[in-house]
Amino acid sequence: KNGIAITGSGSAVPSTSLENEVLTQLVETSDEWISTRTGIRQRQLALPPESLTTLATDASKQAITAAGITAADIDLILLATSTPDDLFGSACRIQAELGATKAVAFDLTAACSGFLFGLVTAAQFIRTGVYQNVLLIGADILSRWVDWQDRRTCVLFGDGAGAVILQANNSDRLLGFSLKSDGTQNHHLNLAYEGTTQQVTPDIHIPTGSYHPISMNGKEVYRFAVQKVPEVIDKALFEAHLTVDRIDWLILHQANQRIINAVADRLNIPEHKVISNVAHYGNTSAASIPLALDEAVRQGKIKPNDIIATSGFGAGLSWGAAIFQW
Ligand code: ACO
């Protein structure tokens, strides 16, 4: 049993919504600008006591139930996030909340590609026979790291969590994947550390401090996504020995409706096969793919044996695609 199957999914979003209209009171923007350029109409924001841990735990409980296992069965918890509640990581807290006593748990950071990178990482542990039951979570609270006075970024992001259970299976349902990184383009999208200098001794000055809010070159990120995402999906399809017409569902990282449409166009994938919920949640970073996947599963769109093409892309720069069978 060294194949992989996704056997359950779950998702959670915070309870506070923020509509475009409200943003017009904070920055010079309009509902019309935001919705025509991005497709986003509203986003959900995590306010205390909601946290990355509570959202991820809620999504995980649903995925565990859907898979018909218990938390005690889980061998590995992978939390894909760039915004843990604790810089040392949040996966262990989630392990404790779930009571997944046997599981080893750690965080994995690959920005908006985090879910994809986590999926492939989880698959390696299962394929080598090391673990049988893996909980993979994609969760982010980017609202904490946005400058709410910067109209170029504050309109784009929202908070959420999604989770899947991956299990060892007789047939391997991860049919192909491809992951990519290009650090030479890192400057286009950052949440960079910047300290203020603290004098420890007369000779030693250590920068301690915090992180800058998100800074982004929107045009470059747009150009990167529209070029690289179709390429990497083609590569994953090639690995899967499949052609594009075999795809039943395209689930891209939900950054922007225009990116989703442009990628689907380039790949000649008709609109009825494209899953999108960016209008409701904005860009939820590592959460967006499992959130969209879980909604589509619960709506009854995705059926057993359907072929799903998925791709994540974002800061790093990083991007990747996977083809899997439901
Ligand atoms: N409201 C009104 N006007 C705005 C806003 C806003 N919220 N934001 C920018 N503008 C203005 C700009 O200042 C600019 O004005 P100017 O011409 O007077 O200088 C004008 O609108 C056009 O700005 P552009 O940046 O050229 O707008 P563009 O059509 O490129 O759309 C957008 C911007 C939506 C950000 C687009 O570039 C995009 O989608 N990029 C990809 C971003 C993305 O998806 N990032 C995340 C991916 S990775 C991750 O998930 C972390």
Best substitution site from 180, 219, 259, 317 to test ligand 1's pocket, by max atoms within 8 Å of Cβ? 219
**What's 68's DSSP letter?**
T
Active site (annotated) includes residue 253:
yes
pLDDT score recorded for residue 198: 86
Best substitution site from 33, 37, 113, 227 to test ligand 1's pocket, by max atoms within 8 Å of Cβ? 37
Active site (annotated) includes residue 187:
no
pLDDT score recorded for residue 26: 93
Active site (annotated) includes residue 283:
yes
pLDDT score recorded for residue 195: 77
Indicate if ipTM > 0.90: yes
Regions of the chain where pLDDT drops below 50: none
pLDDT score recorded for residue 128: 97
Tens digits of residue pLDDT in 133-171: 999 999 999 999 999 999 999 999 999 999 999 999 999
Q: Which residues contact 79 (CB under 8 A, 6 or more apart)?
A: 56, 89, 90, 91, 94, 105, 106, 107, 108, 137, 139
Residue by residue, DSSP assigns 142-194 as: GGGGS-TT-HHHHTTB-EEEEEEEEEEESS--EEEEEEEE-GGGGGGEE--EE
Contact 106 CB / ligand 1 (< 6 Å): no
Q: How far apart are CA 79 and CA 63, in angstroms?
A: 14
The region that residue 80 occupies, defined by phi over 0 for left and psi between -120 and 50 for alpha, beta otherwise, is: beta
Cα 139 to its chain centre, rounded Å, is: 7
pLDDT score recorded for residue 132: 98
pLDDT score recorded for residue 210: 85
The H-or-E segment that residue 292 falls in is: helix 288-298
pLDDT score recorded for residue 206: 87
Report yes or no: 187 and 197 within 8 Å, Cβ to Cβ: no
Tell me the three state secondary structure of residue 278: helix
Report yes or no: 151 and 214 within 8 Å, Cβ to Cβ: no
> Is the model's pTM score more than 0.90?
yes
Specify the ligand 1 atom closest to the Cα of 29: 1
Q: What burial class does residue 51 get, using C-beta atoms within 10 Å of its C-beta: 0-12 exposed, 13-18 middle, 19+ buried? A: buried
Q: Which among 118, 110, 157, 120 has a CA at the least distance from the CA of 13? A: 157
